[in-house]
């Protein structure tokens, strides 16, 4: 059986994350032994050349993973929609989620929250029935990890679906596909990058890009996963998102 490794990089400024440093960048891959060297070199390059600033701390972790634990899922279908300005974002979200079981008030209050969030390090998991946070650590949230594209699938898929290849977008689609496969009803994501205002929404196997999700130059952003807590075991859901190795595309 083929051997696989999870390779994870995170960088920060002003000390390590654990010592209060500011997060600069993160990246992760699932690779074979022969890919380890090039992958780690690429990650170190990414850590040292980021628009958010120069990192003075880099953590690089390499862990072997059990091939029997690996799961394979399909990517979401990518859709583009028009959203002229951040003033119309709520209307757009409401239109896209008109058939969803998410109450409008809850949707709008979580949208208001993600575009102002500068605390949560991962995503907030929200129960659509009670409107309550289901993840246990409020400032931490849930961070999706241990996922990657199946390389051959990605090469073919990205040429067909993405047109000009965009690494950032491909990473977001991979992450969102794992989130959806976990049983999430809808994800809404808005980057905290002041220059990057395009966010996304996922619903019914679609990844819908939303331009002007937030106001330009805003340094805030966040992520929310809507779930039906009556139909999910939350501990299993979080465990899957954080630790189960998942390849997007390909077959086992």
Which residues face 26 on adjacent strands? 10
> Does the protein bind ligand COA through residue 50 (CB under 6 A)?
no
* Interface with ligand COA (CB under 6 A), residue from 23, 133, 151, 169: 23
Q: Are 38 and 57 in contact (CB under 8 A)?
A: no
169 binds ligand COA (CB under 6 A): no
Question: Which three-class secondary structure state does DSSP give residue 16?
Answer: coil
- The least CB distance from residue 9 to ligand COA, in Å, is 6
Can residue 17 be called a binding residue for ligand COA (CB under 6 A)? yes
> Is 82:211 a contact under the CB 8 Å cutoff?
yes
Burial of residue 51 (number of CB atoms within 10 Å: 0-12, 13-18, 19+): exposed
- 3-state secondary structure at position 11: strand
The interface mask with ligand COA, positions 172-191, x = CB under 6 A, is ---x----------------
Contact between residue 94 and residue 177 where contact means Cβ atoms under 8 Å apart: no
At 2, list the tokens.
Answer: 């083929």
CB 137, CB 250: distance < 8 Å: no
3-state secondary structure of 237: helix
Q: Which residue's CB comes closest to ligand COA?
A: 26
- By the rule CB under 6 A, 8 interacts with ligand COA: yes
Between 103 and 142, how does the x/- string for binding to ligand COA read (CB under 6 A)?
Answer: ------------------xxx----------------x--
The least distance separating ligand COA from the CB of residue 6, rounded to whole angstroms, comes to 8
Residue 143 touching ligand COA (CB under 6 A)? yes
The DSSP result for 108-127, as a single string, is HHHHHHHTT--S-SSBEEEE
Q: Does 249 bind ligand COA (CB under 6 A)?
A: no
Smallest distance, ligand COA to C-beta of residue 104, A? 25
Nearest to 93 by CA among 75, 74, 115: 115
* Residue (52 or 79) nearer to ligand COA, CB: 52
Binding test (CB under 6 A) with ligand COA, winner from 92, 144, 186, 210: 144
46 sits near ligand COA (criterion: CB under 6 A): no
Residues, the chain, total? Answer: 252
With contact defined as beta carbons under 8 Å apart, do 82 and 63 qualify?
Answer: no
Q: How far is the CB of 84 from ligand COA (least distance, A)?
A: 28
Q: Does 73 bind ligand COA (CB under 6 A)?
A: no
222 binds ligand COA (CB under 6 A): no
CB of 28 to ligand COA, least distance (A): 4
The phi-psi region of residue 76 (left if phi > 0; otherwise alpha if psi is between -120 and 50; otherwise beta) is beta
Residues that bind ligand COA (CB under 6 A): 8, 10, 17, 23, 26-28, 59, 61, 121-123, 140, 143-145, 175, 223
């Amino acid at each position: 059986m083929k051997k696989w490794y999870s390779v994870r990089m995170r960088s920060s400024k002003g000390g390590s994350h654990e010592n209060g440093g500011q997060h600069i960048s993160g990246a992760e891959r699932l690779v074979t032994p022969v890919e380890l060297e090039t992958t780690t070199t690429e990650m170190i390059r990414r850590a040292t050349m980021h628009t958010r600033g120069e990192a003075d701390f880099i953590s690089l972790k390499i862990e072997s993973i059990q091939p029997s634990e690996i799961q394979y899922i399909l990517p979401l279908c990518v859709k583009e929609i028009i959203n002229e300005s951040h003033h119309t974002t709520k209307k757009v979200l409401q239109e896209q989620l008109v058939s969803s079981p998410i109450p409008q008030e809850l949707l709008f209050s979580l949208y208001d929250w993600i575009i102002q969030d500068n605390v949560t390090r991962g995503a907030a998991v929200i129960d659509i029935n009670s409107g309550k946070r289901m993840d246990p650590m409020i400032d931490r949230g849930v961070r999706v990890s241990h996922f990657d594209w199946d390389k051959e699938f990605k090469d073919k898929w990205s040429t067909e679906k993405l047109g000009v290849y965009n690494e950032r977008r491909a990473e977001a689609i991979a992450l969102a596909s794992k989130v959806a496969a976990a049983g999430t009803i809808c994800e809404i994501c808005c980057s905290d990058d002041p220059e990057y205002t395009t966010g996304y929404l996922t619903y019914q196997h679609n990844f819908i890009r939303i331009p002007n999700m937030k106001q330009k130059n805003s340094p805030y952003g966040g992520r929310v996963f809507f779930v039906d807590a009556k139909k999910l075991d939350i501990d299993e859901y979080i465990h899957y998102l954080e630790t189960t190795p998942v390849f997007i595309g390909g077959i086992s």
